[in-house]
Amino acid sequence: MFVPNLIGYARVVLALICFFLLPCCPWPAIFCYLLNVLLDEFDGHAARALNQSTKFGAMMDMLTDRCATMCLLVNLSLLYPAYTFLFQLSMCLDISSHWLHLHSSTIKGSVSHKSIDLSGNPILRDIPTFILLLLFPACSVCDVRGNELFFCLLYLLHHIEEPAGWLYALLLVCALIALAKAAISVVHLVTASQNMAALDTAERQSAKKQ
Amino acid sequence: NPGETDFSYARVVLALISFFLIALLDAFDGHAARALNQSTKFGAMMDMLTDRCATMCLLVNLSLLYPAYTFLFQVSMCLDISSHWLHLHSSTIKGSVSHKSIDLSGNPILRVYYTSKGTFTPVLFVMCAGNELFFCLLYLLHHIEEPAVCVSVTGWLYALLLVCALISLAKAAISVVHLVTASQNMAALDTAERQSAKKQ
């Protein structure tokens, strides 16, 4: 039994408890959610430190993230039903872009879905973007957490009687980050589709030669 | 207000027609791909992603209609996404051609589920159709405001809902089996990899 996988199972249980409590008891639910985020940061480090990285662990980690985001968007649809379609688009984009990207890189043989092939994409060949991507680890964290924080703030602001002004300012900043992340997800989705189409074409051509 | 009722019925009917067309095209594109010899990995992937997202979005709308059952719908969509994703991922690493062709030796339940004769797979078809129909019926029955108007039709619909609910439950159980099997496969692949790395 690997420690990171045990943390992974704990995260799944925490997530289930969180979403069970979300409609009725905001603060215990938020506590579970924050604990979940903490464990998420921790299990990656634990896996590398203890040399217990596994494909299964990485997969479980990502599935937990995808499902937690999905479930949070369901609850947000209940709180803001007028925006349901936007939340549906967001969860479809999130699932599709990650899935297609992981699948195309698995077929191509990459080690982790977080290591990307920079050579193929013209947007990514831009110098300013390239510099940005050198800072990718930091930006990636801000991007992912900023996106998550946006959804959490939407939930919180619905439950706080008289929210402070700075919370709305934070919401605006996070909204911009969430928008940027959505745009990047679309790029990932298109790139991964092109990669898969290229793999398909190569496969059909080699089949013809036989 | 008669105008409002007409509009909401029109929306319900259009939604159901759209869903039916999606299901029809889904059955059709597989046959077209094989007939025209235009099967691609990308096409298969897009097909599955469309199915997963459509189911997910329908469950969101059902959560809005039946908010007391939101947690059950959330569990259902997480199970749907996770079991398919983990199964596809483990079989891709293992090297299978399609996620529908699986290693049947391991699990007797999955063997029955996938055994096919020709292009028609009865058990799989009934399971998937019944599951989708359950969600569609939940949506439809929420919008029938006066069951007394056509009692016999509504009665049949509720009977059909019960049958589909049982199918949906069975499909969920099978998804759990898939999830566990795929996890075990991945763990086995990981172990094999670590052992071969040690030998080097």
Contact B130, B171 (CB under 8 A): yes
Question: What's the gap between Cα B92 and its chain centre?
Answer: 20
Exactly one of B26, B29, B51, B103 is catalytic; which is it? B51
Q: Which range, of A43-57, A73-87, B74-88, B112-126, averages the lowest pLDDT?
A: B112-126
Closest-CA residue of B relative to A21 is: B71
- Give the pLDDT of residue A114: 47
Burial environment of residue A47 by CB neighbours within 10 A (0 to 12, 13 to 18, 19 or more)? buried
Q: Write out the residues of chain A at the interface with chain B, using a CB-CB cutoff of 8 A.
A: 16, 19-20, 23, 54-56, 59-60, 63, 66-67, 70-71, 73-75, 77-78, 81, 84, 87-88, 91-92, 95-96, 99-100, 102-103, 106-107, 193, 196-197, 199-200, 203
Q: What is the ipTM of this complex?
A: 0.84
Residue A109 pLDDT grade (very low, low, confident, very high; cuts 50, 70, 90)? low
- Give the pLDDT of residue B5: 57
Task: Tell me phi and psi for residue B35, to 5 degrees.
Answer: -65, -40
Tokens read off for A4: 């990171």
For residue range B20-76, list pLDDT tens digits in order. 777 777 777 777 777 777 777 788 888 889 999 999 999 999 999 999 999 999 999
Mark yes or no for CB contact B78/A70 under 8 Å.
yes
Task: With a cut of 50, say whether residue A24 has pLDDT above it.
Answer: yes
Residues 6 or more apart from A19 whose CB is under 8 A from it?
Answer: A29, A68, A71, A72, A75, B71, B74
- Give the pLDDT of residue B40: 79
Mark yes or no for CB contact B187/A54 under 8 Å.
yes
Of B146, B155, B135, B2, residue with least CA distance to B59: B135
| Mean of pLDDT over chain A | 83
Closest-CA residue of B relative to A62 is: B82
Tokens read off for A21: 């409590």
Distance from CA of B150 to the nearest CA of A (A): 31
Mark yes or no for CB contact B81/A67 under 8 Å.
yes
Closest-CA residue of A relative to B54 is: A92
Rg (CA), chain B: 20
Task: With a cut of 50, say whether residue A101 has pLDDT above it.
Answer: yes
**What is d(CA A191, CA A97) in angstroms, rounded to the nearest whole number?**
9
Identity of the residue in B71, B86, B92 whose CB atom sits nearest the CB atom of A63 = B86
Contact B79, B182 (CB under 8 A): no
Select the residue from A12, A67, A98 to test the B interface by mutation, using most B Cβ atoms within 10 A. A67
- Amino acid present at B154: T
For residue range A60-83, list pLDDT tens digits in order. 999 999 999 999 999 999 999 999
* C-alpha pair distances (Å), B163 with each of A181, B80, B127, B175: 42, 20, 11, 19
Exactly one of A61, A65, A126, A200 is catalytic; which is it? A65
Tokens read off for B195: 């052992």
For residue range B117-154, list pLDDT tens digits in order. 444 467 777 888 899 899 989 988 888 755 555 667 77
Residue B157 pLDDT grade (very low, low, confident, very high; cuts 50, 70, 90)? confident
Task: With a cut of 60, say whether residue B103 has pLDDT above it.
Answer: no
- Give the pLDDT of residue A116: 46
Identity of the residue in A60, A77, A103 whose CB atom sits nearest the CB atom of B63 = A77
Tokens read off for B137: 């019926």
Burial environment of residue B83 by CB neighbours within 10 A (0 to 12, 13 to 18, 19 or more)? buried
**What is d(CA A170, CA A185) in angstroms, rounded to the nearest whole number?**
22
Of A18, A14, A19, residue with least CA distance to A40: A14
Q: Give the CA count within 13 Å in the CB-facing half-sphere of B13.
A: 6
**What is d(CA A40, CA B20) in angstroms, rounded to the nearest whole number?**
40
Distance from CA of A11 to the nearest CA of B (A): 14
Q: What is the mean pLDDT of residues A105-128?
A: 55
Closest-CA residue of A relative to B55 is: A92
Residue B154: Cβ within 10 Å count: 15
Alpha helices in chain B (DSSP H): 2-35, 41-65, 70-94, 108-114, 122-143, 151-199
Distance from CA of A165 to the nearest CA of B (A): 30
Contact A77, A91 (CB under 8 A): no
Chain A residues close to B77, C-beta within 8 Å = 67, 70-71, 74
B47 is catalytic: no
